[in-house]
Amino acid sequence: MTDIYNKIIQSKKNRQKLLAILLDPDKINWKNLDHLISKINQSPATHVFIGGSLVESNRMDELILVIKQKCSLPIVLFPGNPSQISKQADAILFLSLLSGRNPDYLIDHQVTAAPILKKSKLEVISTGYILIESGKETAVARVSKTNPIERENFDLVLATAQAGEMLGNKLIYLEAGSGAQQAVPFEMIELMAQNLEIPLIVGGGIVDLQGIQKAFTAGADMVVIGTAFEKNINFFNP
Ligand code: 1GP
Which residue, by CA, sits nearest to atom 4 of ligand 1? 178
236, part of any domain: no
| Span from the CA of 232 to the centroid of ligand 1 (angstroms) | 14
Q: Which atom of ligand 1 is nearest to the CA of 53?
A: 4
238, part of any domain: no
171 lies in which domain range? 4-231
- Supply the pLDDT for residue 2: 66
Q: How far apart are CA 174 and CA 23, in angstroms?
A: 18
| Span from the CA of 117 to the centroid of ligand 1 (angstroms) | 25
* pTM exceeds 0.95: yes
Q: Which atom of ligand 1 is nearest to the CA of 180?
A: 8
Quick check: 52 pLDDT over 90? no
- Could you report the per-residue pLDDT of 166-222, keeping only the tens digit for each? 999 999 999 999 999 999 999 999 999 999 999 999 999 999 999 999 999 999 999
Is the distance from the beta carbon of residue 80 to the nearest atom of ligand 1 less than 6 Å? no
- Could you report the per-residue pLDDT of 113-171, keeping only the tens digit for each? 999 999 999 999 999 999 999 999 999 999 999 999 999 999 999 999 999 999 999 99
Mean pLDDT of 43-71: 93
pLDDT band at residue 1 under the 50/70/90 scheme = low
Q: Which atom of ligand 1 is nearest to the CA of 179?
A: 8
| Span from the CA of 155 to the centroid of ligand 1 (angstroms) | 24
- Could you report the per-residue pLDDT of 60-102, keeping only the tens digit for each? 999 999 999 999 999 999 999 999 999 999 999 999 999 999 9
Q: Which atom of ligand 1 is nearest to the CA of 225?
A: 9
Number of domains in the chain: 1
Is the distance from the beta carbon of residue 206 to the nearest atom of ligand 1 less than 6 Å? yes
237, part of any domain: no
Q: CATH no. for residue 109? A: 3.20.20.390
Gyration radius (Cα) of the chain, Å: 16
Quick check: 112 pLDDT over 90? yes
195, part of any domain: yes
Is the distance from the beta carbon of residue 22 to the nearest atom of ligand 1 less than 6 Å? yes
- Supply the pLDDT for residue 238: 74
Quick check: 8 pLDDT over 80? yes
